[in-house]
Amino acid sequence: MTRKNILKAQRIVVKIGTSSLILPNGKINLSNIDELAFVLSDLNNKGYEVILVTSGAIGVGLNVLGMDKRPKGIADQQALASIGQVELMSLYTQMFRRYSQKVSQLLLTRDVTDFPTSRENAENALNALLALDIIPIINENDAIAVDEMDHQTKFGDNDKLGAIVSKLVHADLLIMLSDIDGLFDKNPTIYDDAKIFNEIHEITDELRQMAGGAGSRFGTGGMTSKLAAAQILFENDQEMVLTNGERIREIQQIIEGREIGTYFHQKF
């Protein structure tokens, strides 16, 4: 069956997780970044408005400094994010340039999207960039984002950031690229009989309990955060597809309505 509502999508946010950008050995997944640049540039050429929400600053920073695990200190993590963000954007710029596609960078913190004036400014900037045929690349400003007392600047994870950006720009669809094919009824890495959910229409307590916990050693988001992102979208009458970041070319098929990954949408 075709997911007919997706066929109407024109403004698309793609969120890619750290596990899709960093190889298990800690090196940068250059082929995935190149493929992502190709697919998103191709979509832009076809008239879609595309925004990329990326993780990976700390993971890339680890690679730059030759470190094999994330330091515990907040300041050390912030330094890594600052180092890694420069390298990450350099890689994106190089890869997108191969396909004659211009990109821009926006680093957001939670207080920017929570405060009405700065939220409006961010929305206006993104709309202006899309009008110029530029693909904005958005990440959390991890070098300065901390939560202290009542001053909250962190989104918590980039799954939530992807949902908030989708809400901010009134996106038709969020495509979330993860290290798993979709949402399963049990952990597919442990149980051979795990079944994928083709569609989800409501985020229930049962689903949350099923979702489990942590992601990879390089990332912070697990399935729980993806359900939280879906809930944000549901509250704004928006849609999401969760799929595997190892098969980036399937983004085109997803937009064509093919049944790939788990499709989160409400029934009215």
Q: Which residues are annotated as a binding site for substrate?
A: 55, 142, 158
Measured CA to CA, the distance from residue 110 to residue 146 in angstroms comes to 10
- CA nearest neighbour of 104 among 83, 80, 82, 132: 132
Measured CA to CA, the distance from residue 195 to residue 198 in angstroms comes to 9
3-state helix, strand, coil in the chain (%, to 5): 45, 20, 40
Measured CA to CA, the distance from residue 141 to residue 107 in angstroms comes to 5
Binding-site annotation, residues: 15, 55, 142, 158, 178-179, 220-226
Local structure of residue 5 (DSSP, 8 states) = G
Residue 177 β-bridge partners:
16, 243
Q: Are the beta carbons of 47 and 84 closer than 8 angstroms?
A: no
Measured CA to CA, the distance from residue 219 to residue 91 in angstroms comes to 19
| Amino acid present at 132 | L
Binding-site annotation, residues for ATP: 15, 178-179, 220-226
Measured CA to CA, the distance from residue 138 to residue 51 in angstroms comes to 8
